[in-house]
Structure formats: structure tokens, C-alpha cells
Amino acid sequence: MPRIEIDEVRCKGCGLCTIACPHKLLVLGDKLNLLGYLAIVMETPGKCTGCAMCAKICPDLAIAVFK
């Protein structure tokens, strides 16, 4: 089953991955990270197809995809 890992420290909450995800599984979280940004979280992990669009568009390389 594909899954993603989001490095909350690197994430600046820009939201580009939320737009890139074809299944709209990523959302802006409600918890501040160490740098004071709202990091992205995965809403329903079991539905991820591993397409890696989120990782490709992330400018901070905060997302890793595992297939």
C-alpha cells in the first residue's frame, strides 16, 4: 500500500501539494510546527495511490512517497 511521509519541520504550509493531489487527500493542519507554520497533513492515508504528485511539486522537499 502506498504511503507518504510529511516532514513537518520542513513544511511551510504553502498548500501546493493540496492542489496537486488528484484525490484531495492533503489538507492544511491545525498544529504549528517548530518554525511557526501550519504543516500539511494527510486526511485519509488509506486512499493514497502513490502517484507522487505532492512530492514532485513540494518546493521544500518535505514529502517522501513510498510505494
Can you give the residue ranges of every domain in the chain?
Answer: 3-66
Q: What number does CATH give the domain 3-66?
A: 3.30.70.20
Q: Yes or no: say if 28 and 40 are a contact pair by the CB < 8 Å rule.
A: yes
Q: What is the DSSP string of 14-64?
A: --HHHHH-TT--EEEEEEE-TTS-EEEEES-GGG-----HHHHH-TT--EE
Fill in the DSSP letter of residue 3: E
**Over 90: is that where the pLDDT of 1 sits?**
no
Whole-model pTM above 0.85?
yes
In this predicted model, what pLDDT tens digit does every residue of 2-56 receive, in sequence order? 999 999 999 999 999 999 999 999 999 999 999 999 999 999 888 999 999 999 9
